Amino acid sequence: MFTPQSLATILDRIAGTRVMVLGDPIADEFLEGRIDRISREAPVLILRHARTRLVPGGAANAAANIAALAGKAEMVGVVGADATGEGLRDALGRVGVGTSGLVVAGDRPTVTKTRISATSNQSVTQQIVRVDRQSDAPLPAEVSTSLIEAYARLIPQVDAVLLSEYGNGVLAPEIREQALALARQAGKPVVVDAQGELAPYRGVAALTPNQPEAEAVVGFAISDEASLQRAGDRLLAETGAEAVLITRGALGIALFERGHPRIDIPAFNRSEVFDVTGAGDTVVGTLTLARASGATWCEATILANLAASQVVRRFGTATTSPGELLAALGWAEGMEDLA
């Protein structure tokens, strides 16, 4: 099935493998400060701002994860004509993600999730509220055209395509259809992480719904062995994909590969989980990169699960590195049950 040796060989090969990510980039913003006063204008807390960090989220997090693993990532998606959009472009550039495919839409904000957190005397940092900015309007036609132009220009330069749909409009039907057709013509494998319907992605190489997304698509709950198997079989049949990964949070990943028995991969390192935000982006980014570097679906899934087991040990949206994965191959808790 796999050996630590075969996984190490793939980690060696992923350096330089090229993946284009088309999807919904999100600015994950973390605003922090101290609270030690109550306002006299209203019965509210006053937060004294200390710092704001901007981290690539959503599709941009998948791209950042690929770059952190030494792959070459190109981001194609939409940002607004605002400071956050510029900040997101800079943040992606700093971690080595290509941003020539980021299209600016003047009529909408950059999709932003701002977590406002505070400390006070003798208390740890605590999230108070999250502020979301996004537009529900469809993308203007000229933005869609620019997206497809960027995608068509970049596709000859990549080994695989990752579609990351967070429901913010980049993978609207007409763009999705053209993206799938262009990938087919170019013979590039496509891996999909999408929040809504999966049937429109018919013919792609693989999909990575999380368990609630898989349940919503098949229309029944995954509550035992039999319903899990039925859900995976149904998704393989409906999408015609080679592989479907149902990511199951603390239960790990169930890999359904056409013509093979299901493989259940337990979550590794369950004991040191701090923050699972973005773990799904790490899974799909690593899977796509490993597969495009010649891994079997089983090997690519194990590496994706291993990468996720590293990022859940860090606060906020996070990435991991080839060195860290190589080190983890030796001791990841739960791995020995698999080999």
Binding-site ranges for Mg ion (CB under 5 A): 280
- 24, 28, 193, 281: the active-site residue: 281
Q: What are phi and psi of 28, to 5 degrees?
A: -90, 110
Determine, following the binding rule CB under 6 A, whether residue 276 of this chain makes contact with ligand ATP: yes
Helix (H) / strand (E) element for 19: namely strand 18-23
Q: What sign has the CA pseudo-torsion 37, 43, 48, 53?
A: positive
CB nearer to Mg ion: pick between 228 and 246 = 246
Token pair of 247 as six digits? 């990511």
Token pair of 331 as six digits? 């001791």
For residue 283, the partner it binds in Mg ion, ligand ATP, none, with Cβ less than 5 to 8 A by kind, is ligand ATP
Minimum distance between the CB of residue 213 and Mg ion, rounded to whole angstroms?
7
Q: What are phi and psi of 254, to 5 degrees?
A: -100, 120
Determine, following the binding rule CB under 6 A, whether residue 250 of this chain makes contact with ligand ATP: yes
Q: Is 136 a catalytic residue?
A: no
- Please give the Cα distance from 205 to 216 (Å, whole number): 21
Minimum distance between the CB of residue 14 and ligand ATP, rounded to whole angstroms?
18
- Selected from 56, 80, 252, 322, the binder of ligand ATP by CB under 6 A is 252
CB nearer to ligand ATP: pick between 176 and 248 = 248
Instruction: Give CA 123 to chain center in angstroms.
Output: 32
Token pair of 291 as six digits? 């597969």
User: Taking each helix axis from N to C terminus, what angle separates 322-331 and 4-13, rounded to the nearest 10 degrees?
Assistant: 180
Encoded one letter per residue, x for contact with ligand ATP by CB under 6 A and - for no contact, window 280-319 reads: xx-x---------------------x--xx--x-------
The closest alpha carbon to 162, from 212, 202, 208, 124, belongs to 208
Determine, following the binding rule CB under 6 A, whether residue 277 of this chain makes contact with ligand ATP: yes
Binding site for ligand ATP (CB under 6 A): 210, 247-250, 252-253, 267, 270, 273, 276-281, 283, 305, 308-309, 312
Active site residues: 281
